[in-house]
Structure 1
Amino acid sequence: MSEPLTHLAKQTGHQREEDMNILKTLAVGIAALGLSAPAAMAEWQPRKPIDFVIMAGPGGGADQIARFIQSVAEKKDMTNRPLIPNNKGGGSGAESLIWLNSTNDPDHTILVTLNSFFSTPIRQPELGIDIQTFTPIAMMGVDPFALWVHKDSGIETFEQWLDAVKAADGEYVTGGTGTGQEDSIVFAYMNNAFDLKTKYIPFDGGGAVAAALAGKQIMATVNNPAEARGFFQSGDVRPLLVFSDEQMSAYPGIPTLKEKGQDFSYYNQRAVVGAPGMSDEAAAYYQKLFEDIFNSEEWQGYLEAESLSPLWMNADEQRAYWQLQVENHTKLLEGMK
């Protein structure tokens, strides 16, 4: 006989009846929650605040998305411990990859990623980062890019922009978040496709890039809609071209690069991954959390308002997507040399 039952057998009839009533009460309580006893006891929950690392500086698209997600989780009381945003965008995101790869608490460390999740390990093999060791959590959507100029530039079409860049003879100044980052990949493609020569100045995050264009520190950017939204609404900047597969409803009449004869589109992933070594129980918790956020009215509204495309994927689909994007970015980065 097991020890708990032996203990009951040695009690008086009154004591046994009281203990059995307690056990029945617990069982009824667990059943009311719709859980079996093992499931109720085994379900993983965070034990402390969650390190919500952002693979970019403040103000950019990844930062805005992370802080919006945090607000949704807090508003709807979706976690028993808070998500704490933690910007680590140094070295084109290398800082954040190293942070996750070396954390001593993978169950409480997750990362909001962009395409530098693929490109930075390719460009910096000395980091020793294998993204397939990270834990897939959620693909929240993909974000298109547009080519932007200041309203005072006098440039209103893509063709006029090409003429202006060529006339500058290597002195046309663009800006972005760093060599090998998403915007620099797009600019490199444009330079090769249209035989352009430009200067490129790096900034700390897409928000800073958009602000630099609005302040006329640079002449053109490749920003996503969320980063440029405020300056677009104020009339300081205008889009000339979008790098999506089809024209965007946010910018009626603005052509795609494909319409200009180039078979090229480029989107930024908006995804969440867990640290290498995360337990299966913690991964399941975060996967359910972010699926609930993805399906929320708030997130679906954000996708529409910020011109993001929904692209939910399960864990296996995410790993396959990672592999495909590593192959694609390897080719794109080769084209930058």
Structure 2
Amino acid sequence: MTKQKTFRAVAAILIGSAVAVPAHATECIAPSNPGGGWDFTCRSVGKLLTQLGKVSGNVQVTNMPGGVGAVGFAHVAADRSDDAELIVATSTVAVTQIAQGKYPGGLEDARFLAMLGADVGVIAVDADSPYRTLADLTAAIKDTPDQVIGAGDGAGSWDHIRYLLVAKESGVENITGLRWVQFDGGTEAITQMMGGQITVVSTDLGEASGFAESGDIRLLAVLSDEPVPAFPDIPTAVSQGVDVTGYNWRGFYTGKNVSDADYDAWLSRLETVYNSDEWKAAATNAGLIPNWIAGADFQAYLADQEAEIADISRAIGIIK
């Protein structure tokens, strides 16, 4: 079976029927239900594309949930790969799924455009925890790994991968032996940590910031290149000698067969949105840090990220 037929078969199985393409000039697929991060990305950027005069008319947002983005990916690859008026919201979550073989294709089966913002990963402990620095925590993981319980999203999730990367870069050799408890998101994990059920939480700053501001938890590190403006006193992992960044970036891809001219036109439109005060406000209000990586630089970044996630996933048995 050819790859194209595989895409169509996967899309048909996951969707259950052919997807009707609405008649419109420009479309953004949010491969999730309304209200999530991908939906926010499509709707906020789509609105600004119209307001800034970068597209004609309104941007049609199509929600296409399923397979953590796999449905939308298969649909675009099979039926819309040359559609110059289509973009799809995506994030680090999708790259994690691709790296773990959970999508019906790889990075090469789409043209990734740009990231416009990112939620920064954090390593958090309870306010009463004896661990006051990242070095304190990683020393405990090395010496008494059975007494340190990490938590966040499911095993193999981006939360889990970030935690393992921090441990690995801190010199923990047996990362497969680290204890991990999965919860439905970082907020639930933090609540359980505050109740003394777990030791440390790996999550996004957006989910942890309220607890940090109230003094209920202590942020040992932000997984960013530079300190976060909202928490300038929280050191980065990099500044503590642990060379790990953990952005849950938000951005877009388009079809694999979109022309170079149309691809470049999308880069120009999205850069205009990124540079606008309106996007900076929308991103900040949603707990994101505006961040721009685009074109060839973005694709190289994703290739490195995929390889890193695949290595960790292989080490813990998520993939072979």
| TM-score, normalized by the shorter chain, greater than 0.5 | yes
1:310 aligns with 2:291: yes
Which aligned pairs between 1:113-128 and structure 2 lie closer than 5 A?
113-124=90-101, 127-128=103-104
Q: Distance in 2 between matches of 1:81 and 1:123?
A: 36
1:50 aligns with 2:6: no
Instruction: Decide whether the 8 Å contact of 2:31 with 2:72 is kept in 1.
Output: yes
Change (3 A) 1:210 1:300: same
Structure having the larger proportion of residues in strand: 2
Change (3 A) 1:147 1:327: same
1:200 aligns with 2:177: no
Which residue is 2:268 aligned to? 288
1:336 aligns with 2:316: yes
Change (3 A) 1:102 1:150: farther
- Paired letter, 1:110: I
Change (3 A) 1:248 1:285: closer
| Shift in Å, 1:295 | 1.5
Instruction: Decide whether the 8 Å contact of 1:58 with 1:87 is kept in 2.
Output: no
Which residue is 1:319 aligned to? 299
Q: Distance in 1 between matches of 2:244 and 2:250?
A: 20
Identity within the alignment, %: 21
- In the TM superposition, what whole-angstrom CA distance separates every residue of 1:215-250 from its partner, at most 9, and x where no partner exists? 437744322333434444455544221122343332
Which residue is 2:74 aligned to? 98
Change (3 A) 1:71 1:147: farther
Moved more, 228-237 or 287-296: 228-237
Which residue is 1:261 aligned to? 241
Counterpart selection for 1:212 from 188, 192, 195? 188
Q: Distance in 2 between matches of 1:104 and 1:249?
A: 40
- Paired letter, 1:277: N
Instruction: Decide whether the 8 Å contact of 1:145 with 1:223 is kept in 2.
Output: yes
Counterpart selection for 1:129 from 105, 110, 113? 105
Which residue is 2:124 aligned to? 148
Instruction: Decide whether the 8 Å contact of 1:170 with 1:199 is kept in 2.
Output: no
| Shift in Å, 1:185 | 0.9
1:275 aligns with 2:252: no
Instruction: Decide whether the 8 Å contact of 1:51 with 1:109 is kept in 2.
Output: yes
Q: Distance in 2 between matches of 1:63 and 1:226?
A: 16
Q: Distance in 2 between matches of 1:227 and 1:100?
A: 31
Instruction: Decide whether the 8 Å contact of 1:303 with 1:310 is kept in 2.
Output: no
Root-mean-square deviation (CA, aligned residues, Å) is 3.8
| Shift in Å, 1:271 | 2.0
- Paired letter, 1:133: D
Structure 1, unaligned stretches of length 5 or more?
1-45, 204-208
Count of aligned residue pairs for this structure pair: 282
1:240 aligns with 2:220: yes
Structure 2, unaligned stretches of length 5 or more?
1-22
